């Protein structure tokens, strides 16, 4: 007799895989860290997404000193100020988009908020082909401590492909 | 996830399909040289990219790869008589040479030249590194012979095996770049398999169960780096290579032979998993070769006389639930290759990627699909040569290396990631 594994892994049986959703949409928050990535993110935001929301931290001026507030640097794409911790708190995944050679200092604040709230972070670096390695190194050292997954992509379209692949 | 059209595009490799065209621009491993051991030996039936072919070796040792069926009335030429520089169909005696040209039709007068009008589709088949490589694309695009490092090694420094995998090529290949499964599925083998155990890297592996990943495009495909913490704030990197479309190379461990795979479509529901092992500066030891013959490491034991693994879907992969419970194996299946193959076959012949829920650690897979789709588009729209054909793309290595925390591994490990003649792989 045919074994159970043989029968179950046939093309004929594949048709009977239950056709019901096996997940709920996840909330993905995409944050541009600099102006060039902000342009990419703005374009992306025009598309239709399940649960993706887009932000920019390009106004980030550097880490605030003790007692100073964080407020003001994270905003949605319409320029409305957003509260980082609240945004992270309601996310399943935070994607930081950075351009090689640009200031990615906001990553540490975003990353800290993510690790506080136990939210996974992914970082995408664009434009690495246009800069020398030392410049890329700087961006890497700002992102590496905070990203569980880091992608250095040559094509800007990767951001969209990745979000689609993640059902964002 | 992928949309259905994208999944179809990447999984269909028959004649006329875009992905099939991409595969057909490469030299593909078709048979082990040992399958055609001598002149006038019995021919071998082989299916590649959904085409049924016959491989054989003529009186002068010339290799032939042609349409399996006789042009007359369609008999399989596998029954053919391999005689005097040609293969003769046993039905009515038509005879073909190694290029597929019909050279004799006994029923017709020789002077009529009838046989010159009959030619079987045939492809170049060439031996290199113990493998017979086939090129099934347009003759004007035939690239130079492949220069994968293992294939250029002397015979005693390399080992090659192949096994039938009863699934589409893509789900098999994706397993080869899915670095995050190793700490689960293969956890048992890191310390027990004779071809894996006893590497310093294994300690880093076990010491830090949550690696962090970095995916970086390479000229021919991808580097997939898994990073763990090492001493003094440094990082221990394991860098896997993927060269488009179907070559993957696993990072080395200690002084063990380095290994990798080709994932070659047989048809859309089956593929060949080719598995190579090699050392650059020394012959493989007898102990290593024995272990490989016994199906250890990335190799398998076979159903005798076939390339089908002894543990296969017909015997439920010899699953051992007690061993699973004890923790000897994570899935109950023994051996790295069959742990992978059993799970990939269990997905069904062609996994429906519209139902997946990929996560952040799957970016290696996401990027591989993205690059395949992008290159397919460039190939179809503009005739751009896809990555992986350029010989420079083939001269790559995987690496296991400890690096300072801020450097891009692509640069910091630049030398470790390409072939260095006469030097071993960089490994920990
Ligand atoms: S946990 Fe990855 S396929 Fe089930
Ligand atoms: Fe595996």
* Complex ipTM value: 0.95
Report the pLDDT averaged over residues B62-74: 98
Answer yes or no: do A120 and B212 touch at CB < 8 A: no
Answer yes or no: do A3 and B345 touch at CB < 8 A: no
**Is it the case that residue B20 has pLDDT exceeding 90?**
yes
Structure letter (DSSP) for residue A101: T
Q: Which residues of A touch B215 (CB under 8 A)?
A: 149-152
Does any domain span residue A3? no
How large a percentage of chain A has pLDDT more than 90?
85
pLDDT of res. A59 = 86
Domain span including residue A84: 24-165
Does any domain span residue A44? yes
Does any domain span residue A68? yes
Judged by CB atoms within 8 Å, which residues 150-189 of B form the interface with A? 166
**Is it the case that residue B368 has pLDDT exceeding 80?**
yes
Confidence (pTM): 0.95
Dist. CA B166–CA B269, nearest whole Å? 6
Answer yes or no: do B212 and A150 touch at CB < 8 A: yes
Neighbours of B124 (CB within 10 A): 17
Count: domains in chain A: 1
Read off the pLDDT band of B411 (50, 70, 90).
confident
Does any domain span residue A108? yes
pLDDT of res. B197 = 83
Ligand nearest the Cα of residue B343 is: 1
Does any domain span residue A94? yes
Structure letter (DSSP) for residue A44: H
- Tokens of residue A159, six digits: 């951001």
Dist. CA B337–CA B241, nearest whole Å? 18
A22, A144, A148 member nearest B357 (Cβ): A22
Answer yes or no: do A5 and B363 touch at CB < 8 A: no
CATH number at residue A153: 3.40.50.1440
pLDDT tens-digit series, residues A83-128: 999 999 999 999 999 999 999 999 999 999 999 999 999 999 999 9
- Tokens of residue A142, six digits: 């700002």
Does any domain span residue A135? yes
Blockwise average pLDDT, block size 10, chain A, 168 residues: 90 93 94 96 96 93 60 87 94 97 93 94 94 92 94 96 96
Beta-strand pair B95-96/B86-88: antiparallel
Does any domain span residue A13? no
**Is it the case that residue B202 has pLDDT exceeding 80?**
no
Q: In what helix (H) or strand (E) does residue B221 lie, and over which residues does it extend?
A: strand B221-229
CA–CA distances in Å: residue B136 to residues A121, B14, B28, B94: 44, 11, 8, 24
Q: How many CB pairs under 8 A join A and B?
A: 124
Ligand nearest the Cα of residue B351 is: 1
Does any domain span residue A40? yes
Measuring CA to CA, which residue among B181, B196, B208 is closest to residue B339? Answer: B181
Dist. CA B248–CA B246, nearest whole Å? 7
pLDDT of res. A66 = 59
């Amino acid at each position: 007799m045919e074994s159970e594994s043989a029968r179950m892994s046939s093309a004929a049986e594949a048709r009977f895989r239950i056709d019901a959703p096996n997940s709920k949409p996840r909330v993905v928050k995409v944050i541009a860290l600099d102006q060039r990535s902000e342009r990419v993110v703005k374009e992306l935001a025009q598309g239709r997404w399940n649960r993706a929301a887009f932000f920019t931290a390009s106004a980030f001026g550097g880490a605030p000193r003790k007692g100073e507030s964080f407020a003001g640097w994270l905003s949605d794409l319409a320029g409305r100020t957003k509260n980082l911790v609240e945004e992270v708190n309601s996310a399943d995944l935070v994607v930081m988009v950075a351009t090689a050679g640009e200031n990615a200092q906001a990553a540490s604040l975003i990353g800290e908020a993510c690790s506080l709230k136990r939210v996974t972070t992914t970082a995408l670096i664009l434009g690495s082909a246009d800069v020398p390695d030392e410049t890329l190194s700087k961006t890497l050292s700002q992102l590496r401590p905070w990203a569980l997954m880091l992608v250095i992509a040559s094509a800007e379209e990767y951001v969209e492909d990745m979000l689609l692949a993640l059902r964002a | 996830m992928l949309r259905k059209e994208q999944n179809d595009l990447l999984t269909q490799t028959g004649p006329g399909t875009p992905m099939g065209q991409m595969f057909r621009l490469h030299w593909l491993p078709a048979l082990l040289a040992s399958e055609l051991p001598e002149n006038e030996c019995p021919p071998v039936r082989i299916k590649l990219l959904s085409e049924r072919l016959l491989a054989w070796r003529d009186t002068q040792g010339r290799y032939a790869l042609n349409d399996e069926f006789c042009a007359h009335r369609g008999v399989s030429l596998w029954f053919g008589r391999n005689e005097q520089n040609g293969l003769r169909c046993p039905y009515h005696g038509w005879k073909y040479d190694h290029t597929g040209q019909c050279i004799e039709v006994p029923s017709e007068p020789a002077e009529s030249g009838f046989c010159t009008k009959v030619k079987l589709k045939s492809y170049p088949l060439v031996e290199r590194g113990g493998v017979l490589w086939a090129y099934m694309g347009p003759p004007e695009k035939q690239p130079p012979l492949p220069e994968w490092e293992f294939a250029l090694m002397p015979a005693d420094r390399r080992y090659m095996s192949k096994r039938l995998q009863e699934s589409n090529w893509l789900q098999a290949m994706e397993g080869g770049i899915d670095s995050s499964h190793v700490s689960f599925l293969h956890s048992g083998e890191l310390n027990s398999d004779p071809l894996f155990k006893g590497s310093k890297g294994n300690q880093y592996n076990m010491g830090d169960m949550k690696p962090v990943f970095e995916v970086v495009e390479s000229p021919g495909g991808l580097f997939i780096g898994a990073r763990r913490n090492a001493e003094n704030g440094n990082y221990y990197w394991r860098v896997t290579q993927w060269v488009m479309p179907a070559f993957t190379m696993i990072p080395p461990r200690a002084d063990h032979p380095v290994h990798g795979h080709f994932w070659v479509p047989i048809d859309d529901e089956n593929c060949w998993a080719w598995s190579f092992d090699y050392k650059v500066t020394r012959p493989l030891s007898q102990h290593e070769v024995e272990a490989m013959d016994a199906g250890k490491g990335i190799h398998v034991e076979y159903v005798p006389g076939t390339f089908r693994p002894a543990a296969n879907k017909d015997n439920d992969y010899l699953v051992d639930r007690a061993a699973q419970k004890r923790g000897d194996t994570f899935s109950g299946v023994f051996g790295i290759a069959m742990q992978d193959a059993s799970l990939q076959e269990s997905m069904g012949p062609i996994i429906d990627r519209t139902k997946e829920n990929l996560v952040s650690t799957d970016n290696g897979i996401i990027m591989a699909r993205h690059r395949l789709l992008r290159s397919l588009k460039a190939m179809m729209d503009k005739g751009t040569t896809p990555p992986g054909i350029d010989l420079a793309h083939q001269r790559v290595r995987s690496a296991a290396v400890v690096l300072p925390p801020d450097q891009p591994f692509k640069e910091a490990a630049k030398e470790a990631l390409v072939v260095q003649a006469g030097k071993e792989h960089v490994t920990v």
